[in-house]
Amino acid sequence: MTTPNWRHKDLLDTKDLSPSEILYLLDTAAQFEEVNTRPVKKVPTLRGKGVILFFAEPSTRTKTSFDIAGKRLSADTFSLAKSGSSLTKGESLKDTALTLEAMAPDIIVIRHSSSGAAAFLADRLACSIVNAGDGWHAHPTQALLDAYTLRKHWQGEMRGKTVVIIGDIMHSRVARSNMHLLTQLGAKVRLFGPRTLLPKGVHNWPVTVYDDMNKAVKDADAVMCLRLQLERQQAGLLPDLSEYAARFCLQQKHLDLAAPGAPVLHPGPINRGLEISSDLADAPESRILDQVAAGVAVRMAVLFTLGMRNEAA
């Protein structure tokens, strides 16, 4: 691997990335996917580099895959959760971040419930910051691994493909990051969800909004379901979960309307029978576990690129 010419200190949002930068990360991830198939899944690329995983919100997939990614690149990874940190004693995010930086990490990966938390750190710290999900705002590595999964399914071609995103769009950092990334790569994005869970200003987004599941899914090349983010919702946005499932839970009969072989994605964690039928989650069209596997390779690419970047670029 050669030293990447990379202009960004941080990875905060997919909207900061050009199409060629997105493709560079996806191509680099493809090279690291091969490492993940070897009997000894480790390369010395980031030996001597330190990566702090600062997760102030719960995570299974993102935290574990960043940890595995760092270790497979031979970086030293250190984990800090909100519950075990001095944030619970009233220390501010700024002071926590300055404290972490004093220990000289090369990269801090942060997940936080506040939109803008990763950018707040990036403005104040010299080390690289990777946004592992901030509030409703962005989840760039999720969108990258989704694109990686789709690109692999379509054997490289994204331009002209139609991806429909279904569910709780308003609270979804995954939907926002995917919308930017997919449109940068020339895909068309459709959205379908309850009217009360569409963001204000969605009609200014480069997407088409549907009000009917069958029309939204018809002839789509891929279908992406979103988690219903009850922890972020104010009371009254949803009438009743069974009513939600009746209108917005993706089932085989809907997928039958999509283009033949259309893959089904979900960022996880999934709520079976609410966002996606249990049968469909386990069906051959489901790429949910492929997305998880792609997460390791994509996060290796991100850590490698930031850890080894040529700062003169």
Residues of this chain that interact with ligand CP (CB under 6 A) are: 59-62, 133, 142, 267-269
Place of tokens 């209108």: 247
Q: Residue 220 and residue 313: Cα distance in Å, rounded?
A: 39
The distance of closest approach from Cβ of residue 34 to ligand CP in the complex, given in angstroms and rounded to an integer, is 24
The distance of closest approach from Cβ of residue 232 to ligand CP in the complex, given in angstroms and rounded to an integer, is 13
- Contact yes or no for 186/159 (Cβ under 8 A): yes
- Contact yes or no for 149/127 (Cβ under 8 A): no
Of the pair 6, 227, the CB lying nearest ligand CP is at 227
The distance of closest approach from Cβ of residue 296 to ligand CP in the complex, given in angstroms and rounded to an integer, is 13
The distance of closest approach from Cβ of residue 11 to ligand CP in the complex, given in angstroms and rounded to an integer, is 15
- 190's tokens: 């459709």
The distance of closest approach from Cβ of residue 63 to ligand CP in the complex, given in angstroms and rounded to an integer, is 6
Of the pair 167, 268, the CB lying nearest ligand CP is at 268
Of the pair 58, 156, the CB lying nearest ligand CP is at 58
Cα→Cα distances 22→126, 151, 153, 191, Å: 23, 12, 17, 22
DSSP states of 281-298: HTSTTB-HHHHHHHHHHH
The distance of closest approach from Cβ of residue 272 to ligand CP in the complex, given in angstroms and rounded to an integer, is 15
Alpha helices in the chain (DSSP H): 19-35, 61-72, 93-101, 117-124, 140-153, 173-184, 213-217, 241-248, 252-255, 278-281, 288-308
Of the pair 135, 267, the CB lying nearest ligand CP is at 267
Of the pair 83, 92, the CB lying nearest ligand CP is at 83
Total residues belonging to the chain: 313
Of the pair 151, 299, the CB lying nearest ligand CP is at 299
